[in-house]
Amino acid sequence: MSYQILFIDADHTLFDFDQSEEIAFRRLLKFIKLEDRFDQLFPSYTQINRRIWKELHQGLIKQDQIKTERFQRFIDAEKINHNPLDLSKQFTKYLSEASILYGDAYEVIEKLSQKFRLVIITNGLKEVQDKRVRHSILSPFIETTIISDEIGISKPNSQIIDYTLDILNHKNRDDVVIIGDNLYSDILCGFNANIDTIWYNPTQQKNTLDKKPTYTISTLKDLLKILEQK
pLDDT tens column, 104-129: 999 999 999 999 999 999 998 999 99
Query: In this predicted structure, what is the pLDDT of residue 67?
Result: 85
The one-letter amino acid code at 149 reads D
Alpha carbon distance 224, 227 (integer Å): 5
Instruction: Give per-residue pLDDT as tens, 11-23.
Output: 999 999 999 999 9
Q: Which domains does the chain have, with CATH numbers?
A: 5-16+101-227 (3.40.50.1000), 17-96 (1.10.150.240)
Residue 229 predicted with pLDDT over 80? no
Distances in Å between the alpha carbon of 158 and those of 34, 101, 170, 192, 225? 42, 27, 15, 5, 27
Residues 39-57: pLDDT tens digits? Answer: 999 999 999 999 998 898 8
Residue 1 has pLDDT above 60, yes or no: no
